[in-house]
């Protein structure tokens, strides 16, 4: 009789349009408090909002990229509540006619997390608690948001995290947001309930508000799941409420009872006109979308025959995915290219931010040249690795580090002679190998590499040495 977790996510994504949703103030993050504001976005009486067309377009992009239907006709509504970060005492949002509906994101386990709706709305200001006082910064007020709401389809913490990561990557690929969780441009409300495995219908849920770290989301979900199970097992009932995650103590704690939609007294905003989008406009936006991460992954594994782990790492950063593709020109074994990127290049870019920026000195043309030389066996892999290190240090091309003679390699007769010398000079190792100690051959090959300054083809040398020993 085990318990199952049920979760649905409400994700807020700040859109990276230049200006705010209803005025021409900048959407830039940070800045001196209350300097990115005007009478409209601080809600002075008598001002009139005017919807930023780019916001609608960005939201439609997000909807199409997550398989949603787009409404031709929608509208803005007022959601009424009082809180100091919301000077008008209502948030302009969308209630019963959201711009996008009925989408989904597919997870790697084959399950689809259904998206109920995506609507546009304005962000609120920010309370700053400092020196025992509370201050308000309205810079964020009126920054455009989309809220992406899922069905309660999530059944594990892993699924929740994968959903957010996939959503985040899609938003980044289509360029509607910088989705920086630490700056709050992607935040999640996590709704959780539990039920007995096999039970139909859902239990009462709680909602953990405003999470902006994957690590905290996982911890909060783990805690909340255990808390609910414990209450139910001891015969108690779950109270539907809004909770917050306290990261200092790693617990969730009650914030307030749950509001119903009725509490918000939603009504259409009389200051804003109907939003009308034609099918043609929707199709134009669809055509302008780039290849999405899921499609790229499929292509890299199927057409490029990359292992899944390689493909997943490459598509995680759009810039790197593109660099990889450019470096693959005329290359038959694409895995060779991915090895250099995920190996030697990633070693130099340990953090996520560094990979994101991907500022390395080797251009895709230069990497391509190197890979083509190794693929045609003009350069052995040993030398190629060394050369790549020097290229990464200096930004110079392959030909700056190798000579014609390096590329011609060693002819067969010469290689055989060197192998004979190597065996003669390493009699002990040869005998050990003969008596079954496979690894002993390593020191003989090492000798050959040293003699040839890495020019010898290790695989060919190994074959020759094995034969020499066996026939001795």
Residues that bind ligand ADP (CB under 6 A): 6-10, 149-152, 191-193, 202-203, 205
Min separation Cβ 1 and ligand ADP, Å: 19
Min separation Cβ 212 and ligand ADP, Å: 17
Q: Left (φ > 0), alpha (ψ -120 to 50) or beta: where does 97 sit?
A: beta
Q: Which of ligand ADP, Zn ion, none binds 23 (CB below 5-8 Å, type-dependent)?
A: Zn ion
Output 150 or 374, the one with its CB closest to ligand ADP: 150
Q: Is 256 helix (H, G, I), strand (E, B) or coil?
A: strand
Closest residue to ligand ADP, judged by C-beta, is 8
Q: Which of ligand ADP, Zn ion, none binds 11 (CB below 5-8 Å, type-dependent)?
A: none
Considering only CA atoms, give the Rg of the chain: 30
Closest to 230 (Cα-Cα) out of 194, 256, 255: 194
C-alpha 328/C-alpha 202 separation (Å) is 50
Q: Which residues form the interface with Zn ion (CB under 5 A)?
A: 23, 25, 38, 40-41
Q: Which of Zn ion, ligand ADP, none binds 41 (CB below 5-8 Å, type-dependent)?
A: Zn ion
Min separation Cβ 65 and ligand ADP, Å: 19
Min separation Cβ 14 and Zn ion, Å: 15
Strand pairing report for 251-257 and 241-246: antiparallel
94 bridge partner residues? none
Output 21 or 149, the one with its CB closest to ligand ADP: 149
Q: Which of ligand ADP, Zn ion, none binds 38 (CB below 5-8 Å, type-dependent)?
A: Zn ion
Min separation Cβ 138 and Zn ion, Å: 9
Output 227 or 396, the one with its CB closest to ligand ADP: 227
Output 6 or 99, the one with its CB closest to ligand ADP: 6
C-alpha 447/C-alpha 449 separation (Å) is 6
Cβ contact 19:52 at 8 Å:
yes
User: Which residues does 53 contact at the CB level (< 8 Å), separation at least 6?
Assistant: none
Output 16 or 150, the one with its CB closest to ligand ADP: 150
Strand order in the sheet with 241-246: 69-70, 100-106, 112-122, 144-150, 3-14, 186-196, 206-211, 241-246, 251-257
Running DSSP on this structure, what letter comes out for residue 156?
Answer: S
Q: Is 318 helix (H, G, I), strand (E, B) or coil?
A: helix
C-alpha 148/C-alpha 99 separation (Å) is 11
Q: Which of ligand ADP, Zn ion, none binds 206 (CB below 5-8 Å, type-dependent)?
A: none
Min separation Cβ 186 and ligand ADP, Å: 16
Which runs of consecutive H residues, i.e. helices, occur in 99-206?
157-173
Give the number of other CB atoms < 10 A from CB of residue 364.
17
Q: Which of Zn ion, ligand ADP, none binds 150 (CB below 5-8 Å, type-dependent)?
A: ligand ADP
Query: What is the distance in angstroms between the CA of the first residue and the CA of the last residue of the chain?
Result: 68
Q: Which of Zn ion, ligand ADP, none binds 184 (CB below 5-8 Å, type-dependent)?
A: none
Min separation Cβ 190 and ligand ADP, Å: 9
Q: Which of ligand ADP, Zn ion, none binds 12 (CB below 5-8 Å, type-dependent)?
A: none
The structure tokens listed for 158 are 């892993």
Min separation Cβ 24 and Zn ion, Å: 7
Output 117 or 334, the one with its CB closest to ligand ADP: 117
Output 23 or 398, the one with its CB closest to Zn ion: 23
C-alpha 147/C-alpha 85 separation (Å) is 18
Output 193 or 338, the one with its CB closest to ligand ADP: 193
Min separation Cβ 260 and ligand ADP, Å: 7
Residue 19 C-alpha from the chain's centroid:
25
Q: Which of Zn ion, ligand ADP, none binds 6 (CB below 5-8 Å, type-dependent)?
A: ligand ADP
Output 25 or 100, the one with its CB closest to Zn ion: 25
């Amino acid at each position: 009789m085990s318990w199952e977790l049920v979760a649905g996510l409400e994700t807020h994504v700040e859109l990276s349009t230049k200006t705010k949703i209803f005025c021409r103030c900048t959407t830039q993050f940070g800045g001196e408090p209350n300097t990115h504001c005007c009478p409209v976005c601080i809600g002075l009486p008598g001002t009139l909002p005017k919807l930023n067309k780019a916001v609608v377009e960005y939201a439609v992009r997000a909807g199409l990229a997550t398989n949603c239907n787009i409404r031709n006709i929608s509208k803005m509504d007022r959601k009424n509540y009082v809180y100091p970060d919301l000077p008008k005492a209502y948030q302009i949002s969308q209630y019963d006619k959201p711009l996008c509906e009925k989408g989904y994101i597919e997870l790697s386990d084959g399950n689809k997390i259904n998206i109920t709706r995506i609507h546009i709305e304005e962000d609120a200001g920010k309370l700053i608690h400092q020196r025992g006082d509370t201050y308000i910064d309205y810079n964020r007020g009126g920054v455009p948001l989309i809220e992406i709401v899922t069905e309660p389809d999530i059944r594990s913490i892993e699924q929740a995290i994968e959903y957010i990561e996939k959503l985040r990557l899609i938003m980044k690929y289509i360029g509607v947001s910088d989705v920086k969780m630490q700056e709050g441009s992607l935040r999640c409300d996590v709704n959780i309930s539990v039920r007995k495995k096999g039970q139909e219908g859902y239990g009462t849920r709680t909602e953990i508000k405003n999470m902006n770290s994957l690590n905290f989301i996982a911890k909060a979900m783990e805690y909340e799941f255990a808390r609910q199970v414990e209450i139910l097992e001891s015969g108690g009932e779950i109270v539907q409420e809004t909770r917050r995650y306290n990261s200092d103590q790693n617990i969730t704690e009650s914030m307030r009872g749950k509001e119903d939609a009725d509490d918000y007294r939603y009504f259409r905003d009389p200051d804003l006109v109907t939003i009308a989008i034609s099918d043609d406009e929707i199709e134009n936006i669809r055509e302008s979308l780039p290849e999405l991460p899921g499609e790229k992954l499929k292509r890299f594994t199927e057409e490029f025959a990359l292992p899944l782990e390689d493909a997943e790492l490459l598509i995680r950063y759009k810039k790197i995915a593109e660099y990889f593709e450019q470096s693959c020109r005329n290359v038959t074994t694409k895995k060779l290219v991915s090895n250099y990127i995920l190996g030697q290049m990633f070693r130099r870019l340990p953090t996520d931010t560094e990979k994101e920026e991907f500022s390395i000195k080797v251009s895709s043309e230069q990497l391509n040249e190197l890979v083509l030389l190794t693929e045609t066996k003009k350069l052995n892999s040993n030398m190629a690795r060394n050369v790549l290190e020097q290229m990464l240090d200096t930004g110079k091309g392959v030909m700056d580090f190798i000579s014609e003679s390096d590329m011609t390699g060693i002819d067969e007769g010469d290689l055989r002679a060197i192998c004979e010398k190597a065996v003669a000079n390493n009699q002990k190792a040869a005998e050990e190998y003969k008596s079954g100690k496979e690894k002993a051959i390593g020191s003989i090959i090492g000798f050959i590499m040293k003699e040839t300054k890495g020019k010898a083809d290790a695989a060919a040398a190994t074959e020759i040495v094995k034969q020499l020993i066996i026939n001795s």
